[in-house]
Chains A and B, each alone.
Chain A
Amino acid sequence: MEILVCVKRVPDTAENEIELNAEGNDIERDDLVYSVNEWDNYAVEEAIQMVDKHGGSVTVVTVGDEESEEVLRREMAMGAEKGILLSDDAFEGSDGKGVAAILKAAVEKGSYDLIMTGAQADEGYAQVGGMLAAMLDYPYASLVNSIEVGDGKLKVGREVEGGNIEMNEIELPCVLSIQTGINEPRYVGIRGIRKVASVEIPAMGASDLGIDAGSVGEDAAKVRRIDYFVPEMGEGAEMLEGSTDEIIDKLIELLKSKGGIK
């Protein structure tokens, strides 16, 4: 099975406090630590496990700039065989559809049985997988948390409300968006990264992909982020202040009065 996994480089929110820059038009990006979108690690792990069992190979692809190469290398250290960087000035400012259109062109340059994305990324749209599938006219299932390989088709579980699993049969080729928890992504150490440090990662631009530059990027984007802001907060929580001992005493009083300590 030939599997393509789409991955995105995102700021690591577990590592960073997100703050606005002085102009208020973007977040402060200087000190941000970047990593692979959490969901995408699960997708890559799943792809590797499927290939281990059924043969084939895993390719990882990202739309980004040169710095995005590091996330491809990280996923290759996990076990993906090939990486492809899709990068071009013309891609900048693409909205979700722009990103999906660029990925579609890359899919058509190869021959894949299965395309995987994460269920969502840092911006929380949860859009690229479904758009890519519709553009390719492939069937799609989102929020997948189990995959069983059959003959020309897959049996996939979608995690729906309440933790229930919706079982589906889906024909190949298809696009799946992967939900966290489907597996336990393997750990990648410095050594693993070093091993793939010199592997060639081809970069492809608009002309390599046969994309009309006007159909992607900022000018084609129907959806635009105007600015970042911190909304006027409601009252919010009453913050307990003082020394740790004082805070604990206050907290215990409150918990007692609300029935929180039995």
Chain B
Amino acid sequence: MAQIFAYILHSNGELDDSALELLAAAKKIDPDVDVTAIVTGSGIDDVCKKAAESFKTVWKIDSDALSYPNAEVVRKALLNMLPSDCFVLLPQDTFGMDLGPGLSVKMDSAFVGDVVDIEGVEGNTLKTIRQEFSGQVSTHVHCDVSAGAVINVRPGVFQPAEGQAGEVVDKSGEIGDVSAKRKFIEIQEAEVGEVDITKSEVLVSVGRGIEDEENLEMVFELAEAMGADVSCSRPIVDAKWLEKSRQVGTSGMTVKPKVYMALGISGSFQHMGGVKGNPFIVAINKNPKAPIFQVADVGVEADILEFVPELTEKIKEL
């Protein structure tokens, strides 16, 4: 069986949640394998020690050139030391999406992105499960791994695995040439808006199902009647109908309300990734098969344009 590597993201000395999820995914490829964690950065001894609490081997790749994980630089470093035909596991987040596809080309191995489950390996075939059309249907995807593979794993779907303690191996000397034609400059923090939805206890969240900017008014009326704040999914911000600070999701805010009411939102993983703290979720959607109904506590199959004004009226009458 080929070697399996998991790339470990970290910030402020802590491992990213994806670390133990990748370990779980690796165990589904091969239950008996010793997974090697790859940690890059500069001044990463503490993070490597933490990784070594769960991974049998931890590759420490310490260099000033890697102080920020620029995927173009990381790729070069990895290509200088990874064995051929291996598996590399990455999270399907903004870093993994940047690195994975190009890495698989350079390693001449297969690539499968946004994997939600792994059924195992048979011969040279890796059997994975994916979703298409924003989660409305699933697919079995088989992949020829005879020359290895780069597998990008959807965050939050694999139960974090319990690992075994191991040791740190310093690979910093093998980095080699990592010059790249893309240079990291800086991180610009997201702007703060007029409402802070991260503190709201009740959120009325609106998605593309609202259809028109003018229809937003009924959402604000409902929120006012409930004593809630208004948040939204990404398409509403892309259309510039609401400010970015109201966007819930992986590329927006992480919210922890008690009650989350999703109006005309399909329930993509990037959206639900921003809903934490196990709130009571109410979903109102005209499509009974919308994936949001899988994660909601209570659902209503309805056209929000008709349902919301009626709901608001009744709440006002209370």
Q: Do the two chains belong together in a single complex?
A: yes
Contact partner, A167, options B99, B186, B247, Cβ 8 Å: B186
- The yes or no answer to A157 lying at the interface (CB within 8 A) is yes
Give the shortest distance, in Å, between A38 (CB) and chain B (any CB).
Answer: 8
Interchain CB contact under 8 A, B137 and A130: no
**Residues of chain B contacted by A97 (CB below 8 angstroms):** 104-105, 111
Size of interface on B: residues with Cβ below 8 Å to A:
95
Interchain CB contact under 8 A, A260 and B133: no
- The yes or no answer to A197 lying at the interface (CB within 8 A) is no
Residues of A contacting B: mostly: mixed
Which residue of chain A is the closest to B149 with respect to CB atoms? A222
Interchain CB contact under 8 A, B315 and A261: yes
Interchain CB contact under 8 A, A143 and B105: no
**Residues of chain A contacted by B113 (CB below 8 angstroms):** 96, 124-127
Contact partner, B299, options A122, A134, A166, A239, Cβ 8 Å: A239
Interchain CB contact under 8 A, A162 and B181: no
Interchain CB contact under 8 A, A163 and B105: no
Q: Do A168 and B183 form a contact, CB below 8 Å, given A248-B310, A259-B258?
A: yes
Which residue of chain A is the closest to B128 with respect to CB atoms? A223
Q: Which of A226-250 contact B (CB under 8 A)?
A: 226-231, 233-234, 236-240, 244, 247-249
Interchain CB contact under 8 A, A131 and B140: no
Contact partner, B311, options A27, A166, A236, A248, Cβ 8 Å: A248
Interchain CB contact under 8 A, B251 and A131: no
Segment at the B interface, from A12-20, A105-113, A198-206: A12-20
- The yes or no answer to B283 lying at the interface (CB within 8 A) is yes
Which residue of chain B is the closest to A10 with respect to CB atoms? B133
Contact partner, A255, options B71, B99, B102, B259, Cβ 8 Å: B259
**Residues of chain A contacted by B280 (CB below 8 angstroms):** 254, 258, 260
Segment at the A interface, from B44-52, B89-97, B169-177: B89-97
- The yes or no answer to B304 lying at the interface (CB within 8 A) is no
- The yes or no answer to B300 lying at the interface (CB within 8 A) is yes
Give the shortest distance, in Å, between B70 (CB) and chain A (any CB).
Answer: 7
A interface bracket (residues with beta carbon within 8 Å of B)? 35 or more
Segment at the A interface, from B25-33, B54-62, B156-164, B236-244: B236-244
Interchain CB contact under 8 A, B102 and A233: no
CA distance A254 to B282 in the complex (A): 10
Give the shortest distance, in Å, between B210 (CB) and chain A (any CB).
Answer: 12
Give the shortest distance, in Å, between A261 (CB) and chain B (any CB).
Answer: 5
Interchain CB contact under 8 A, B136 and A139: no
Task: Give B217-251 as 1s and 0s: 1 = Cβ < 8 Å from A's Cβ atoms.
Answer: 00000000111100000110111100010010011
Which residue of chain B is the closest to A129 with respect to CB atoms? B101
Give the shortest distance, in Å, between A177 (CB) and chain B (any CB).
Answer: 8
- The yes or no answer to B293 lying at the interface (CB within 8 A) is yes
Contact partner, A251, options B114, B133, B235, B300, Cβ 8 Å: B300
CA distance A33 to B37 in the complex (A): 45
**Residues of chain A contacted by B227 (CB below 8 angstroms):** 261-262
Interchain CB contact under 8 A, A226 and B185: no
CA distance A160 to B97 in the complex (A): 11
Interchain CB contact under 8 A, A131 and B98: no
- The yes or no answer to A196 lying at the interface (CB within 8 A) is no
**Residues of chain A contacted by B114 (CB below 8 angstroms):** 124-126
Interchain CB contact under 8 A, B142 and A251: no
Contact partner, A252, options B101, B281, B288, B314, Cβ 8 Å: B314
CA distance A112 to B202 in the complex (A): 50
- The yes or no answer to A11 lying at the interface (CB within 8 A) is yes
Interchain CB contact under 8 A, A134 and B133: no
Interchain CB contact under 8 A, B141 and A168: no
15 further contact pairs, Cβ within 8 A, besides A127-B111, A128-B101: A18-B289, A100-B105, A126-B113, A130-B101, A134-B101, A158-B94, A158-B98, A160-B94, A167-B186, A170-B181, A223-B110, A223-B143, A229-B140, A236-B296, A259-B258
Rank and list the top 7 A-B pairs by shortest CB-CB distance, nearest first.
A262-B227, A130-B101, A237-B299, A260-B259, A134-B102, A134-B105, A163-B190
